[in-house]
Structure 1
Amino acid sequence: MFYVLLIMVLVVFGCAEYIFLMPLNLSYSGTWIFAILVTGVLGGLAFLKMYEDEKYISSKARVLPLAPAIVMIVGFIVMLVVSLPIFRSDDYRRLIGSVQEKTFTSEIQVVDLTQLPVVKENYAKSLAEKKLGNLGSKVKIGEPTLQNNNGELRYVFPLLHRSFFKWASSPQGTPGYIVVSATNDKDVKLVDEINGQKIFIKYQTEAFFGDDVRRRLFFSGTGLATKGLTDFTFEIDNTGKPYWTTTVYEHTIGLSGSKAVGTAIMDTQTGEVKVYTVENTPDWVSRIQPQDIVENQVNSWGKYVHGWWNSFFSENDVLKTTEGYGIVFNNGRTYFYTGITGSGRDESTTGFMLVDTKTGQATYFKMSGGTEIAAEKSAESEIKNMGYKAAFPTLINVENIPTYFITLHDNEGLAKRFALVSVSNVGIVGVGRDVNEAKASYLKSLNTKGGVLGGAGEEKTLEAVVIRIGEYQSEASSYYAIILQGNENKLFNPPISLSPELPITKEGDTVRITFVDTGYGSINVKSFDNLVFNQDLAKVEQSVKMNQQKVEGEEKKENE
């Protein structure tokens, strides 16, 4: 009977390991608990066996089988204690590595408006689901990855099994993935073949047994059974071939102090696994550092600035992250970013932290201003009669001014307006039907509310004769392209909302414009004045504003 029970116990624990995949490494809490259960149950069985044979074995010897479980319990307690921040606060603060302090304008490039992620994740998901069509009865949309792929921002959605039975009936896997452009909601593609070859997602997070991504990695024979695995991300390489990219991490402070040490990349069709260090991970991989690990590291860096006692009691110089994390794309690199605020502050920041999503290198920008939530409220207040909601901001550089870019969307997630909000003064806001219009409104707001442009070019005022002028439509707003005498190599692009004189300006008129030439795209005009006219512009602008409010009111009724 004893041996039958022993075999049953071993089978149960073997199945448990197959299901839960505990790392074969005692730097993980789950492994300690599993090991205590195993040694405890096996020791208990051995104790009972010896108790039956007590006439042959001394009473002291009968407790020996319980010794391994006792040792494991004591070891686990010791590991828990040595992992506490009260003893290791300096180690927790150093988890993030060396934090560089830099100037925002020297590090973050002036933004290219055409590359802003105007399509937010929820809306991208609804677009992907519509693209499924008849496939929707067989597969479902997985969690997306926002990738900077071949210089374009894209959401990549894997197609996953809907259920166990769908998995069982599709041994080859699901038919490909969906790509949604983050800059153009009309660009949605179902990718089910590459170079004429059908592609399938056989190994996935919604598969079972050996087709499960985590299980395949664990039993791949590449040493991953002894490592921590997290952040199972679906990504495509530069040719469009799909992979699962998984972060490999280790605990560096007892049972805590998670730190990414590499990646495991799996071919979704063949299950082939390759393991890389952080340094030699392929360039097309967009993320190695998981957001939750980065968030813990940044918070530890700010919290334990003067040790554990200070963080718990006086909180002198203690810093913390603001609510939410965003993504910044800069100079071909991807970063997590979050505002940094002092302990007890809610609406203001002391700076911003950017962390490279590949290397984990952290950069701190000391810069006081409003939080992301404060910027959202400010943007919403500009169009409160419309009822649109603000998405989480993206931090960008507009004319060398730290700026929040915010999409304002309806209940369906469709972007209806775009806003630019100054980080240093969230009361300075520009809103428009498209990004260019929002920028023009923002620059105008900077002028009227005392903002200081820090653009790469010098601010200039120019009086000249118009030799060419034409109107064009960009997304939801009208713009003018103007060439001035003596400046034939420059193209000035004021939006129609900048001045009521623009629609009646013609070739031969003398105009005065103020602009900053940053060298990025066409020249943004800050102010426009046709010197031919001497009318009361205040009345004209008031009329234009009333008409605009009328249009917005009609749009609101349509949305309702």
Structure 2
Amino acid sequence: MKKFLKIFIPIIILLIAAYIYYYITLPAVNIHSPGFWFFIIGALVVICIIIGLITANPGSTLYRGSVFKNKLFTFIFGLTVIVVLVYIIGSILSSPMINAKKYQQMLKINDGNFTEDIKEISFNKIPILDKDSAALLGSRKIGSIVEYVSQFEVGNNYTQINFKGVPTRVTPLQYGSFFKWITNRSEGIPAYMQIDMTTQEVNLMKLTKGIHYSESEYFGRNIHRYLRFNYPTYIFDTINFEIDDEGIPYWICPVKDYTIGLFGGQTVGRVVMVNAITGEFKDYAVSDVPKWVDRVFSAELLISLYDYYGTLRHGYWNSVFSQKDALQTTDGYNYIALEDDVWVYTGVTSVARDESNVGFVLMNQRTAETRFYAISGAEEYSAMASAEGQVQHLGYRATFPLLLNIGGEPTYFIALKDAAGLVKKYAMVNISQYQIVAIGDTVNECEKIYLELMKSNNINVKDSSKFPKITGTITKIAEGVVDGNSHYYILLNSSDAIFDVEVVNFINIIKYNVGDTISFSYSEGTESNTVLGVE
């Protein structure tokens, strides 16, 4: 009996430890999952250690002197070595070094037509916030709501989606702590944050029934554990929080598919959708995912697939040494709303990184459709530096550019933020001639100045004027200073509105006085109308 207990008790302890490890780390039971191999190797190593300690103990009835005289130890040790070798060999055989052609052909690239694919869009559809600015607004919003701020925090998901045609970021609230989870878990998380990327409007969307499955839950309702115990063999990629057209919150959970060897050729094969309120789940093939879903393929995965396509054209060793015709994406990316989907935008440059782009790509996050546009010009960070140079006296920092079609010209659109992370101005930089930089307090004003700059630099632009014009006699004129810039505020006899003219952009305005007749185009605002062109 003592001999039996000395063997049985360590086995029970090992099984309990293995279950705790599995419960915490949640590896997929799948030979394509590195985590599963680590789990198996770790378990075998622990078994070897336990057997070795028992066998090498002089007081043990199983004492053999040398552990290798124990047949069970020898078997487990040999099995461990074999498993480790299979993992190492499998990793090598799955690598781009061995399968360069297969990796290079993973992503199908189509040539796009810039002016046809990327239409000039209304400014109320341009996302002017990045994730950091959205997070700042979200934190301020929850801080102003007394009933929630003591119990909940804002999650850091901030998934960018198209919600009813509007670029939007959404993120759930999360429990403030373990004890606050205990207090509120029966009702669940009562709301999620919804941020309009075009107007910067922040709304806390309250739910009639709370979210019961989330990343801030503990135990079985934690969304990662819930997925693992319902789909033990699925290898999940980064999960995303989204809402459907009715505002119902879901977790969109892409399932990795390895198409080259054991661990290579990662893509997305299926998608599991989990209702965040009820826990109901549906399993789809990628081609069958509902169209309201915006994020199946992560930006990082799509970019890595394009880098394989661009760098492995002439094999693996060419990508390392001579690098002939080798292209790769630039550092950084942004999102663009197109055809009711969210597309990842990033530039394409040579592997040598010569601060210029040979073109750019758009990659659909729902379908992985990829379009390449052969438009050479400034690399994004060069454009950002040009924009920052125009406002260096204010210390504003540029966000990563968004690609727009302005007057038929590929254009970088950049938001400029102050030290607090708030958007203060906007910039438009011509991709092919990045010395052409327009700065404006509003998007409309920025576009007007940009079009005039392009015309003055002999760039043939399409007439995209869509702003109202007015003519009248000045009845009152006053001067003010905003962010260090002089502004004239004008009243006309033909309108009750106040018109704001930034002197630095229209210096001739100082020639006008009360009683003079003036004509100008303008964009409408809530407090005053911004003058975009004085005639």
Scaled by the length of structure 1, what TM-score is found? 0.79
Show the counterpart of 1:179. Answer: 194
Residue 203 of structure 1 contacts residue 212 of structure 1 at CA under 8 Å; is this kept in 2?
yes
SS in 2 for 1:153: strand
Show the counterpart of 1:33. Answer: 38
| Cα deviation code 1:485-536 (max 9, x no counterpart) | xxxxxxxx99885684799799xx99999xxxxxxxxxxx99765xxxxxxx
Show the counterpart of 1:161. Answer: 175
Residue 79 of structure 1 contacts residue 255 of structure 1 at CA under 8 Å; is this kept in 2?
yes
Show the counterpart of 1:555. Answer: none
Question: 2-side partners of 1:70 and 1:412: how far apart?
Answer: 55
Q: Relative to structure 1, is the Cα distance of residues 44 and 169 closer, same or farther in structure 2, using a 3 angstrom cutoff? A: same
Show the counterpart of 2:432. Answer: 424
Show the counterpart of 1:553. Answer: none
1:131 to 130, 137, 141: 141
1:225 to 228, 232, 237: 232
Residue 472 of structure 2 contacts residue 518 of structure 2 at CA under 8 Å; is this kept in 1?
no
Q: Which residue type is aligned with residue 123 of structure 1?
A: S
Question: 2-side partners of 1:374 and 1:479: how far apart?
Answer: 35
Residue 444 of structure 1 contacts residue 527 of structure 1 at CA under 8 Å; is this kept in 2?
no
Show the counterpart of 1:274. Answer: 282
Q: Which residue type is aligned with residue 215 of structure 2?
A: T
**1:84 lines up with 2:95 in the alignment:** yes
Question: 1-side partners of 2:511 and 2:245: how far apart?
Answer: 45
Residue 44 of structure 1 contacts residue 65 of structure 1 at CA under 8 Å; is this kept in 2?
no
Alignment length (residue pairs): 485
Deviation at 1:265, TM superposition (A): 1.2
**1:366 lines up with 2:380 in the alignment:** no
**1:141 lines up with 2:154 in the alignment:** yes
Question: 1-side partners of 2:388 and 2:29: how far apart?
Answer: 51
Question: 2-side partners of 1:240 and 1:215: how far apart?
Answer: 25
SS in 2 for 1:451: coil
Q: Relative to structure 1, is the Cα distance of residues 502 and 231 closer, same or farther in structure 2, using a 3 angstrom cutoff? A: farther
Show the counterpart of 1:73. Answer: 84
Q: Relative to structure 1, is the Cα distance of residues 244 and 501 closer, same or farther in structure 2, using a 3 angstrom cutoff? A: same
Q: Relative to structure 1, is the Cα distance of residues 72 and 387 closer, same or farther in structure 2, using a 3 angstrom cutoff? A: same
Residue 109 of structure 1 contacts residue 330 of structure 1 at CA under 8 Å; is this kept in 2?
no
Deviation at 1:219, TM superposition (A): 1.0
Question: 1-side partners of 2:358 and 2:26: how far apart?
Answer: 43
**1:113 lines up with 2:118 in the alignment:** no
Q: Relative to structure 1, is the Cα distance of residues 30 and 399 closer, same or farther in structure 2, using a 3 angstrom cutoff? A: same
Question: 2-side partners of 1:170 and 1:467: how far apart?
Answer: 58
Deviation at 1:458, TM superposition (A): 9.7
Q: RMSD across aligned C-alpha pairs, in angstroms?
A: 3.4
Residue 124 of structure 2 contacts residue 199 of structure 2 at CA under 8 Å; is this kept in 1?
no
2:296 to 288, 302, 311: 288
Q: Relative to structure 1, is the Cα distance of residues 478 and 282 closer, same or farther in structure 2, using a 3 angstrom cutoff? A: farther
Question: 2-side partners of 1:263 and 1:182: how far apart?
Answer: 26
Q: Relative to structure 1, is the Cα distance of residues 47 and 339 closer, same or farther in structure 2, using a 3 angstrom cutoff? A: same
2:268 to 255, 260, 265: 260
Q: Which residue type is aligned with residue 229 of structure 2?
A: F
**1:332 lines up with 2:340 in the alignment:** yes
Deviation at 1:229, TM superposition (A): 0.8
Deviation at 1:44, TM superposition (A): 5.7
Deviation at 1:50, TM superposition (A): 8.3
Show the counterpart of 1:379. Answer: 387
SS in 2 for 1:287: coil
Structure 1, unaligned stretches of length 5 or more?
A: 460-465, 481-492, 514-524, 530-560
Question: 1-side partners of 2:53 and 2:519: how far apart?
Answer: 99
Show the counterpart of 1:303. Answer: 311
Residue 420 of structure 1 contacts residue 438 of structure 1 at CA under 8 Å; is this kept in 2?
yes
Deviation at 1:125, TM superposition (A): 2.0
SS in 1 for 2:99: helix
Deviation at 1:233, TM superposition (A): 1.3
Show the counterpart of 1:244. Answer: 251
Q: Relative to structure 1, is the Cα distance of residues 470 and 384 closer, same or farther in structure 2, using a 3 angstrom cutoff? A: farther
Structure 2, unaligned stretches of length 5 or more?
A: 1-5, 475-481, 491-498, 522-530
Question: 1-side partners of 2:210 and 2:51: how far apart?
Answer: 50
Residue 55 of structure 2 contacts residue 70 of structure 2 at CA under 8 Å; is this kept in 1?
no
Question: 1-side partners of 2:140 and 2:533: how far apart?
Answer: 43
Question: 2-side partners of 1:34 and 1:5: how far apart?
Answer: 18
